Amino acid sequence: MRSFYRAVILLLSAGWLTFNLHAEGWISATDRADNPLLIEYLMSADFSESLQAIQEIGNRTDPYISDILAALQARSSSAQGYRQQQLLRSLLRAAFPPELATGDFRRRLEANQEGLELLARGLDGFMLPLRRESVRVLRSSGSAEFDRQILGQAGWCVRLLQEQQGLIDAEQGAFILEILEYAGSRQNTVFLDPVLRILEATRDLAVAEKSLQTARALAGIRTVSRNRGEW
């Protein structure tokens, strides 16, 4: 059966089959051994077909997609960069949906540690929609490993607010809110200073409220830590 799926993918990537097989769920029955062929298909199919294939990749039993993430990211700065970043964002959404049960989410994260590290290193090169989706997934990992990169993104948010005199558009606001979500979830007081700087610089009500809430929580952690040190 595995050879059948591989043959189908090869035929599709070569353009020999034009009818729609995605509805039959054949991609969702593949596993990581088929990822090189899926990558070839994603690169050669038209955008709508690639998006449909990505939805099926998210339904697979095998959660490993790090090599697919790497392939899409490697091409995200090329002439097709916008297309590849859209596909990469869709893949993150399909493979790590917010509504996924905690245990299943954790299993997918653990299977793709190298992919998460790649996302963290590439944040600066992403457009805001992909950057925001990447931060959401990194936040869900609960790992301190990505704190340094997210602190860098928090600094970027502060500079953006300062340059724009506190004014932001919807996409920028959504990204800043995601950074604040990350800071609050980590409960690490190293984030307190950039959160306070965001609060000081913003003129957006939602960002101001979220940064104030996050700053209060982080300040409370710092106070508790200092009091314990006095015992």
- Token pair recorded at residue 208: 């101001």
| Cα 208 → chain centroid | 24
Decide which of 141, 168, 187 is a domain's last residue. 141
pLDDT band at 16 (very low <50, low <70, confident <90, very high): very low
Per-residue model confidence as pLDDT tens digits over 181-192: 999 999 899 999
Per-residue model confidence as pLDDT tens digits over 108-149: 999 999 999 999 999 999 999 999 999 999 999 999 999 999
Closest CA to 108 of 148, 180, 58, 40: 58
pLDDT band at 3 (very low <50, low <70, confident <90, very high): very low
Sign of CA dihedral 79, 80, 85, 91: negative
Q: Determine the structural domain holding residue 191 and report its residue range.
A: 143-231
* Co-location of 219 and 153 in the same domain: yes
* Co-location of 19 and 67 in the same domain: yes
Looking at the 3D structure of the chain, how many domains does it have?
Answer: 2
pLDDT band at 79 (very low <50, low <70, confident <90, very high): low
* Co-location of 31 and 90 in the same domain: yes
pLDDT at 222: 62
* Co-location of 108 and 175 in the same domain: no
